[in-house]
Amino acid sequence: MLFLNDSEQLKKHHIVWFVLLIAIVGIVYYPVILAGQFINFDDNTHIFLNTLVCNNNLKAVWDIFFTPDSANKTYVPITVVTFLYERLLFGALPTLSHAINVLLHLLVCFLAFFLARYLGLNLRAAFWSVLIFAVHPVHVEAVAWITARKDLLFTSFYLMAMISYCQYQDDRNARHYIFALAAAGLSVLSKPMALSLPLALCLLDYLRSRRMSWGAIVDKIPFFLVVEPIALITYSMNARGVPFSWHTSPFIWVWSASFYLQKFFCPLNLSIIYGYPSRLDLWNTDVFRGFMVIFLFAVVLFKNWRWKLFLFAALFYILTAFFLWRFDIFDLTTVADRFMYLPSLGFCFVIGYLVDYAFTLKKKVFIAVSLSVFVFFLLLSSHRVFDWVDSFSIWNATVKTNPSAFSFDMRGQSLYTDDFYMPSKASFLKFVARTKRTDIGRMRSVFKLSFDQKIAAARKAAALRSFQFALAREPLNPELYEDAGLAYASFNQFYSALNCFETRFKLSKKPSVSFFYNWGVVYQQLHQDDLAMVKYNMAIRVNPDYNLPYLNRAQIWLDKKQPLRALTDALTAIEKDPTFSPAYDTAISIARGYGDNKLEKNLISAQRKLSFATGSGYLRPAPDYVLSDITLK
């Protein structure tokens, strides 16, 4: 296919455009590369609590591909493999993970450029399209959130498949067709959203004026056979009876379908989670606006259906996003920014074409408007990237746009947990400075040597305040009381923690095993061993294979001068989880005090074998909370 209006001058400067693209992406996303942390929202599910990633064994690759639920009830083996190799080679380094995401975003931008060329855009229009795509604020979530790597990976392979298919259309070379088919498989293995790829290839046939024939149909059959069965794996795991209702479902569908169009063309008030319409009827502002957006979109499509590029953009959005338009409100992420990462590409092509057209006409007003929109998007994205630096920053930004109980709860958790999701000191200092209406330098001069203690106290107060806000919004939510109780306990306010745990138990009689365990730990901290023992027994009844209650109960038996029972519980803890080194430490200590030298030697030998098997100390490190502190389990 002939490309549009490529002057020799444009061809000579395309390297400059690529350098400019890399520089702009680097400037926008450098905060998460330099200081970005893991986020306490699915990063744990995909990386730290995912046994397929934590095995630290190359053999896990086989398990990843043959485990339908590879991460959070989704089949995304390619994405999980990248997390596995990162952890094997470099450990848990958020800087590296963010850098890989940014590089994948650059790869998608370059692939989008080549696809734009195959669709007929000239060099300048293609570059403008890619620049808009690269800096659009609605794409920040997909790039700055480590968990969203699956969106970057599946889009990369998706575009590779489309480009190779275009090459196959031009030269009928079987190698290009095979590469397109392989890329399609890798795309759907990265994320099931690639199920739209065969339909997108049909759209390419239309845009590139390929005659409809049996050959064109046969070309798509292998893509359907590769993509659709894999996508159905995730669908089958998440399938549920959609409670369709003529009173509510049409309004939910219109609201979710219009959401992505609204956020693309007006990317304001972005959030990691979005609230739902308060009422599902035409009198609700969000629902009514959704109907107006859909109506306007249909009118524009009807008036411009002969313009092939716009028709491609509109249909590409529909084909790649229609399965995201929901009839029911089921979870927190019914809609999300990252879902628009691929579907927005066609609109970026249209905008790039229009910007190039404005430069061709040399109309100063059009040029000024185009540059203003680009700079506006650039500034919005730069600001949004800072929100994604750490857990506290993203949830602190979320409570401003969506002040829900969940948002306050997650912000509270980010302030008191002591793990990979701890908020960076810099972001929390800025928050305290704004709260105190002063600057950080003045705070340091006032606090002097007690600066860190003052900040710790401020974190404590802010965390508890966040949980209070959450409970005020949903006073009957048992999970909020459990989270608040853990926060109180971590700050040694044990009686407040007990009040929260008791309220949580009254609201729901079926708590998890970790709830009873944590409840028991609080009683043990207060030296109320009999009540702690009751809670540990309840935890064991809920899940007899959970080893921590046995270990803490062993400590109580020791305090009661009953070493035989203590040893029995410690050995049971080892039996339930033979890789948990603190259980060996406790059992060895009890056996030594009990005078059983043979058992002590056997336990030491078993522990050493486990350490040798991993090549580095323990098979699983000992957490700080065992026997003494509170855990967020």
> Is 62 a member of any domain?
no
Q: If you search the block for the tokens 């306490």, which residue do you land on?
A: 40
> Is 56 a member of any domain?
no
Instruction: Name the β-bridge partners of 74.
Output: 71
**CB of 500 within 8 A of CB of 485?**
yes
Residues near 509 by beta carbon (within 8 Å), at least 6 away in sequence: none
Residues 420 and 298 in one domain: no
Task: Give residue 490's domain range.
Answer: 401-511
Confidence of residue 237 (pLDDT cuts 50, 70, 90): low
The two tokens of residue 156 are 């990369």
> Is 49 a member of any domain?
no
Choosing from 356, 387, 418, the residue where a domain stops is 387
**CB of 109 within 8 A of CB of 123?**
no
Choosing from 480, 511, 542, the residue where a domain stops is 511
Top pLDDT among 252 and 244 is at 252
**Predicted pLDDT at 111:** 96
**Predicted pLDDT at 440:** 60
The two tokens of residue 88 are 């094997």
CA-to-CA distance for 264 and 351, rounded, in angstroms?
12
**Predicted pLDDT at 587:** 84
Q: Does residue 399 surpass a pLDDT of 90?
A: yes
Output the CA–CA distances (angstroms, integers) from residue 307 to 207, 312, 313, in the order listed: 10, 9, 10
Which H or E run contains 411?
helix 405-416
Residues 445 and 489 in one domain: yes
> Is 300 a member of any domain?
yes
Residues 480 and 535 in one domain: no
Average pLDDT for the chain: 84
> Is 215 a member of any domain?
yes
**CB of 410 within 8 A of CB of 461?**
no
Q: Does residue 260 surpass a pLDDT of 90?
A: yes
Judged by average pLDDT, the poorest of 61-70, 184-193, 298-307, 507-516 is 61-70
Residues 281 and 351 in one domain: yes
φ and ψ of 74, to 5 deg: -130, 155
**Predicted pLDDT at 56:** 65
CA nearest to 555, candidates 599, 516, 585: 585
**Predicted pLDDT at 617:** 33
Q: Does residue 629 surpass a pLDDT of 60?
A: no
Residues 207 and 299 in one domain: yes
**Predicted pLDDT at 176:** 92
Of the spans 29-38, 340-349, 355-364, 490-499, which averages the highest pLDDT?
340-349
Residues 489 and 536 in one domain: no
The two tokens of residue 481 are 């009381």
Q: Report the domain count for the chain.
A: 3
Choosing from 387, 417, 433, the residue where a domain stops is 387
**Predicted pLDDT at 469:** 93
**CB of 93 within 8 A of CB of 86?**
yes
pLDDT in tens, 171-197: 888 899 999 999 999 999 999 899 999
Q: What is the pTM of this model?
A: 0.86
What mean pLDDT is predicted for residues 576-588? 82
- Across 332-375, the runs of DSSP E, i.e. the strands, are none
Residues 248 and 353 in one domain: yes
**Predicted pLDDT at 369:** 85
What mean pLDDT is predicted for residues 145-161? 96
Residues 557 and 606 in one domain: yes
Using DSSP's 3-state secondary structure scheme, residue 235 falls into: helix
The two tokens of residue 594 are 């009990």
Residues 181 and 328 in one domain: yes
If 0-12 CB within 10 Å is exposed, 13-18 middle and 19+ buried, where does residue 454 land?
Answer: middle
Top pLDDT among 37 and 109 is at 109
